[in-house]
Amino acid sequence: MSARPSPTLTSTAKAGLSLGALGVVFGDIGTSPLYTMRECMAHLPPVGQEAGVLGVLSLIFWSLMLIVSVKYIWFVMRADNHGEGGIFALLALIHGGRVNPADGTTPAKRGLGPAVIMILIGAALLYGDGIITPAISVLGAAEGFNAISPAFDKYVVWIACAILAGLFWFQHKGTQSIGRIFGPVMALWFATLAGFGAWHLAQNLSVLRALNPAYGFALLHHSPVVVAALLGAIVLSVTGAEALYADMGHFGRRYIAWAWYGVAFPGLVLNYFGQGAFILNHPQSTENPFFAMAPVGAARFALTGLSIAAAVIASQALISGAFSLTRQAIQLGYFPRLKINYTNAEHSGQIFVPFVNRLLAVGAILTVISFGSSEHLASAYGIAVTGTMAITTIAYYLVVRRDHSWSIWLAAPICGVFLLVDLAFFSANADKIVNGGWFPLAIGAAVLAVMHTWKIGREEIFRRVYGNNVTEAELGSIARSQYVTRVNGVAVFMVGSPQGTPIALLHHVKSNRCLHKTVVLLSIITDEVPAVPDDEQLTLREIGEGIWRVTGRYGYMQSPNVSDLLEKTKTAGVPINPQSATYFFNREMIISGGNARMWEWQKNLYSFLSRNARPAKDYYQITPSQIIEIGLPLQL
């Protein structure tokens, strides 16, 4: 589904998308100045303060430049799947396209080779980060109440849970509504970052020497243990970079880039350099340099309040990214069908997935209760997103080699530099695994098990059920057979593909030895436009022997109305009465104990997922009394 905005957008609408991107996409990376410089100074190698400050600023600046501006904005975000970003978009491009099981089509069979498994691991890690980021952001924000009064200490966890509950409840309003509220707040936030940073930078312009990368490399000439600790703090400045790509479908690359280069990047750089100037001008200060930049009194109190609001918003990027990843996983056949709400007719990428939202909400709230403080949660932060960043680089290399036809001499050096940086940051966070980093990895492992099981389970089902599909010519022979009685009435069989023969029809004929005089093979296709005009929705073709093939096309913002479609079919000349038609669906009944190449626990898991996946019939507006489901027992 295309996520590109309409070319007829007004200047006001374009500005709104850029402003919305500030509130939805840049919240995570935009709040990094709250703690990054403090953590970096706490993990400095044994060098002088001036050399340490200049080295840290150099590493932060060039990390932002190389990872965000160059890797993601200039390169990776150009590899989009119909405007959608994220690691699953790369998987779709590697395979040369995608499918859309939401409208009934069957996923193309694809091998689960090393590249696919690697990408699934990256996607699964992002789900783990999607739970831990809201938890640590909101818990850290709630802990700001301790600065107002120590009496709040025993209520911090419950305040954080209440804020999280409100944040996840608000998701159903849609990305556009969220962006309208969060966008202005984040615009004020970045303006505040830039203002305080420029003020202190003007008092010590010598920190601009940190633009020379030599100062950063100088800090890396120490023992691996010391360098790893430093890089583990530096990486905090770019957490949220992967969310830019995952959220691309919500706003589009152009508007995310405008927001980055025009607002976010200048605000971040000015603030980091301002913090560096403050540290050099006040070498005896032991306070957090971010808050210390603001004068004591009303200004610092206001900055604290704005910081709390920005920290809450920071979790939005991962939440929206999880919605986009889920839709892509469904479309690629790696996740069961779920209900997806489209919240903006002008931008298909702005979606809301209720089930995923509930899981993230429960996971984040339980995480807050379990860990109890942002200090404890910090030990689990970073390992998942840095792992995904490295996997994204490898997947991007495969895309540009296979899909963009880059030569190895062009792709290898560019992606090699990106991968070197990614692996350096990932290695620096590896020691966090035993101190809490196992938590997002455990979540990722659970999600990976679901995706892998669903994929191989569907392929096994398709191999057994659709491996010997009946052609239209063979279907005509069945209809003419003297052993098949033709009865009065209309039977509508839902078909996943406009070329397929539904298994429900074959079971019906085999069991009842009869077939209705009029048979409609109906396929519903979702086109990548907001709406398909009424006069273009219906495609009709006669197969013969009273059998018709009907294809209904709808836009991604339209709900398929099968009854209305059959009225149009009647008007086109097909002898049917939509009010008396019978609709046939097949319902899979999974039985374990077969010889499928799956572990027994996978067979049980697939059976559970299949029972709870949203049935295809729920996508269509059909009177329940007109539906007949035919059981399809399958032993795995």
pLDDT for 339:
84
Q: What are phi and psi of 579, to 5 degrees?
A: -70, -25
Neighbours of 464 (CB within 10 A): 14
Tokens 């030569």, residue located: 407
Residue-wise pLDDT for 217-254, tens only, equals: 999 988 888 898 899 889 989 988 888 888 887 788 88
Let me know the angle formed at the C-alpha of 472 by 466 and 475, rounded to the nearest 5 degrees: 85
pLDDT for 461:
80
Check whether 135 has a pLDDT greater than 90. Answer: no
Check whether 490 has a pLDDT greater than 90. Answer: yes
Categorize the per-residue pLDDT at 2 as very low, low, confident or very high, splitting at 50, 70 and 90: very low
Residue-wise pLDDT for 323-382, tens only, equals: 888 887 887 778 888 888 877 766 666 788 899 999 999 999 999 999 888 777 776 777
Q: Residues 6 or more apart from 469 whose CB is under 8 A from it?
A: 500, 501
C-alpha 235/C-alpha 224 separation (Å) is 16
Categorize the per-residue pLDDT at 619 as very low, low, confident or very high, splitting at 50, 70 and 90: low
pLDDT for 250:
76
Largest CA distance in the chain: 98
pLDDT for 8:
55
Residue-wise pLDDT for 452-471, tens only, equals: 999 888 888 877 765 556 78
Q: What is the mean pLDDT of residues 191-199?
A: 96
DSSP per residue, 97-115: ----GGGTPPPPP----HH
Strand-pair partners of 541: 549
Rounded to the nearest integer, the mean pLDDT of the chain is 84
Report the b/e string of 337-347 with b at 16+ CB within 10 A: bbebebbbeeb
Q: What is the mean pLDDT of residues 146-165?
A: 84
Check whether 4 has a pLDDT greater than 50. Answer: no
pLDDT for 107:
38
Q: What are phi and psi of 282, to 5 degrees?
A: -130, 65
Check whether 111 has a pLDDT greater than 60. Answer: no
Residue-wise pLDDT for 116-133, tens only, equals: 889 889 889 888 888 888
Check whether 214 has a pLDDT greater than 90. Answer: yes
pLDDT for 346:
67
Check whether 543 has a pLDDT greater than 70. Answer: yes
Residue-wise pLDDT for 395-409, tens only, equals: 999 999 988 889 999
Tell me the Ramachandran region of residue 487: left when phi exceeds 0, alpha when psi lies from -120 to 50, beta otherwise: beta
pLDDT-wise least confident of 221-235, 289-303, 309-323: 309-323
C-alpha 37/C-alpha 58 separation (Å) is 12
Check whether 39 has a pLDDT greater than 70. Answer: yes
DSSP per residue, 173-188: G-HHHHHHHHHHHHHH
pLDDT for 466:
54
The secondary structure element, H or E, covering residue 352 is: strand 351-352
Q: Residues 6 or more apart from 362 whose CB is under 8 A from it?
A: none
pLDDT for 116:
85
* Four-point Cα dihedral 330, 312, 243, 215, nearest 10: -160
C-alpha 334/C-alpha 495 separation (Å) is 21
Burial (0-12, 13-18, 19+ Cβ within 10 Å), 47: middle
pLDDT-wise least confident of 1-15, 182-196, 454-468: 1-15
Q: What is the mean pLDDT of residues 415-437?
A: 89
pLDDT for 5:
42
Q: What are phi and psi of 156, to 5 degrees?
A: -60, -45
> Cα-atom radius of gyration of the chain, to the nearest Å?
28
Categorize the per-residue pLDDT at 97 as very low, low, confident or very high, splitting at 50, 70 and 90: very low
pLDDT for 85:
81
Mind listing the domains of the chain with CATH numbers? 11-95+126-451 (1.20.1740), 472-635 (no CATH)
C-alpha distances out from residue 26 to 146, 179, 411, Å: 26, 11, 28
C-alpha 224/C-alpha 636 separation (Å) is 50
Residue 130 is encoded by which pair of tokens?
């999607």
- Order of strands, edge to edge, in the sheet holding 582-591? 538-544, 547-554, 514-526, 485-494, 582-591, 627-635
3-class secondary structure, 496: coil
Check whether 563 has a pLDDT greater than 50. Answer: yes
C-alpha 367/C-alpha 492 separation (Å) is 48
Report the b/e string of 245-269 with b at 16+ CB within 10 A: bbbbbbbbbbbbbbbbeebbbbbbb
Check whether 496 has a pLDDT greater than 60. Answer: yes
pLDDT for 1:
37
Indicate the pairing of strand 514-526 with strand 547-554.
parallel
User: DSSP assignment, residue 528?
Assistant: S
Burial (0-12, 13-18, 19+ Cβ within 10 Å), 219: buried
3-class secondary structure, 144: helix
Q: Residues 6 or more apart from 137 whose CB is under 8 A from it?
A: 27, 28, 31, 311, 312, 314, 315
pLDDT for 529:
62
pLDDT for 3:
40
Q: What is the mean pLDDT of residues 594-616?
A: 84
End-to-end CA distance of the chain: 33
Tell me the Ramachandran region of residue 240: left when phi exceeds 0, alpha when psi lies from -120 to 50, beta otherwise: left
